[in-house]
Structure 1
């Protein structure tokens, strides 16, 4: 019987262009929906109100970004098992695999409940420094949304590990569409800030809908891995730490900016929107393709450094086009789409796009480190990058300048750590 099927339920072949295309289409839809939520919030709320919403959006991105560590560990575990030597036999006729077994979705339920309880229980310590308005609602939605997203992320990881890319993409799209639909309702009916807060977390229950309508998703969700719960949690802890650090630089950057700058005001709202718009074309796909990337690097486990070259070249090429476009068209797009209050320079938008390339490359090297089970190097790289960025944000420079310096230079620390570890492993 196939050990691949023991763990995965399907034979996971090489990551093909078709799988990337399916996830790519889902990513494009998710990106459009994300832009839609930001656009509706920016149009309905003044820059000061938008900065409040953006901090919550960033806080939710921070905690759910950390939960993506469960996605990474579930993908690696299932995908690695699928590549072990195996004999042939019908997948559905197998008995339980020998040795210890862990069901990642069960572990995720416990982790989600514990994380939500911890978040709510400690809110008196951190919420006054993060949420300027609607504090009780923000804490409640953040905690409940995190619990749901732990299940969401783990199911994504199981689907990626078993090669069910259509279901993977469907879950992404359901999440994104749910958000933009509720944001549209908030815009039309004038629900104000609270409506957009609800819209931010609405997609956290998309996994329930997919499990309800898809037998294949239920099969993937019920699969065990061949590790003890303690071993799975140990690996997931490193991934969560690194994913949390990455989330600070990506989705949670408005929180970091506020923590190092004090009151952001209208100027901060413009900078946050500029950062969000310039990084989304690169970082939304990179985040969405984590399952594909980890599976790709697991498949190329004997030459991971060489395997980095092609995706890195694609990132740099796309980024170069983005830098030019941001410089030439960015200010006009920002002013036309979001209104006359959102004004900045082409140079700032171009530099912020270059900074997005730096973070995208760090995301790429991090995926290679996860695939190689270099959990310690993975977490050290991301934590080091985040600490470097936070330190650079304290420089006595203009808000725009130190934002660019932090986002451009901080990730280089993590890239160096990941490449050093990968070179030793290879």
Structure 2
């Protein structure tokens, strides 16, 4: 039996999706606001530097989302099965993983920081390490709340993270702090979980949650999830880092335009999907008898919204970039439409990944994301223009991962 103070798991109802959706909308608005303030305050070349750090933190924090995925699955499965053993404390495990990961980043930084951060190198490394340590606990608490169906607290933690970021960015903009201010803003929400624990008894009870099985078993599943989440983070938040690594140097103004365009075209789909990982995994765990059928409705919704997004990006994207961020951020409507189509492919890969991890197919889950990321990285090395190879990599790489995930799910369903 799980911690009695935490209560039973709540179903993934339409109301829970609405609550998390509202929190996602606020989070997305705050994220857009941070990008807007940075783009207006910094020149395209400076925004490129900020974008790489934004991507670097997105990469490492995205990998930490593996803790959310495995914690959600463990808590949800235990609640459904009525397990009566309590042996692993996810929050304590997350604290150990976070501290170890932060120290590893700091110790190894002389090997890689010069290739990633062209300005504010020491500050970037310190913030990256500390932010990752805090975010490991943040994302694990999200996982426990999702597994228990505590969707109001789940949404509150998402909003607290996003509001902290935009508050620091607004202060940086107001006082002319410059690049350093936006680096601080990027990691400002990594310790928002402390505030939620201070004011929410339900969240404190969830943080004490114990899951069945030993720590080694939990870490083994988490390891696969972190590997897959890290690979997904490379394609999603960490893409600017991958783009710079495959471009042989400073991306400059052109890179700043591409990074902003990719970020803006994918955010309407990927921000909600990332924020609702807890809902998705809980849903797929509940629908374990019909895993492939459970994918149809969300995939159709993503495809429909994506098709509308492609048309809107082609028609209004260039005007929006020019009016919102200035004439130096110019991109063709056709290019923006292709970027949006690539975002649809990654969104569908995110969906199939959530279904795969919910089925405890950890190896297939990580293999799908790793193959997609490696394929995208190799495609970025093609001797093509920056914009063209970006589209090819982001559109074709995810298709391989989707095929691997669906194949694994089909085999399990057949069995």
Please give the TM-score of this superposition, normalised by the length of structure 2: 0.98
- Aligned: 1:352 with 2:339: yes
Equivalent residue, structure 2, for 1:379: 366
Match 1:175 to one of 161, 170, 179:
161
Q: Secondary structure at the match of 1:83?
A: helix
Q: Distance in 2 between matches of 1:15 and 1:367?
A: 15
- SS of the residue corresponding to residue 261 of structure 1 reads coil
CA distance in 1, matches of 2:358, 2:53: 32
**Structure-to-structure mapping, 1:254-293, within 5 angstroms:** 254-262=240-248, 263-293=250-280
Task: Specify the alignment match of 1:332 in structure 2.
Answer: 319
Shift of 1:251: 0.1
The structural deviation recorded for 1:256 is: 0.1
1:308 is the counterpart of 2:315: no
SS in 2 for 1:12: coil
Counterpart CA distance in 2 for 1:132 and 1:161 is: 41
Q: CA deviation at 1:10?
A: 2.0
Match of 1:91 in 2: none
> Aligned pairs, how many?
412
2-side partners of 1:152 and 1:76: how far apart?
A: 17
CA distance in 2, matches of 1:51, 1:14: 42
Is 1:84 aligned to 2:81, yes or no? yes
Distance in 2, Cα, partners of 1:229 & 1:344: 49
Counterpart among 78, 103, 128 of residue 142 in structure 1: 128
Contact 2:284 2:355 in 1 (8 A): yes
Name the structure 2 match of 1:19: 16
Q: Displacement of 1:6 after TM fit?
A: 4.7
Instruction: Please say which of residues 9-18 and 170-179 is displaced more in the overlay.
Output: 9-18
* Residue aligning to 2:286: 299
Deviations 1:119-155 (Å, cap 9, x if unpaired)?
0000000100000000000000000000000000000
Q: Is 1:101 paired with 2:87?
A: yes
Give the drift of 1:181. Answer: 0.6
Paired with 1:127 and 1:9, the residues of 2 have a C-alpha distance of 42
Alpha-carbon offset, residue 8 of structure 1 = 8.4
Matched-pair contact (CA < 8 Å) for 2:5–2:205: no
- The alignment status of 1:29 with 2:14, answered yes or no, reads no
Structure 2: tracts of 5 or more residues without a match? none
Alpha-carbon distance, 1:85 to partner? 5.1
Q: What are the residue-to-residue correspondences of 1:23-422 with 2, within 5 Å?
A: 23-84=20-81, 97-98=84-85, 101-262=87-248, 263-422=250-409
Provide the rounded CA distance (Å) in 1 between the counterparts of 2:207 and 2:73.
Answer: 15
CA drift of 1:320 comes to 0.4
CA distance, structure 1, for counterparts of residue 324 and residue 5 of structure 2: 45
1:302 match: secondary structure? helix
> Structure 1: which 5+ residue stretches go unaligned?
87-96
Say what the alpha-carbon RMSD is for the aligned residues. 1.0
> Does the C-alpha gap of structure 1 residues 214 and 13 become closer, same or farther in structure 2, counting only changes over 3 Å?
closer
For the 8 Å contact 1:8–1:81, the answer to whether it is kept is no
Secondary structure in 2 matching 1:29: helix
Deviations 1:70-122 (Å, cap 9, x if unpaired)?
Answer: 00000000000111158xxxxxxxxxx43x60000000000000000000000
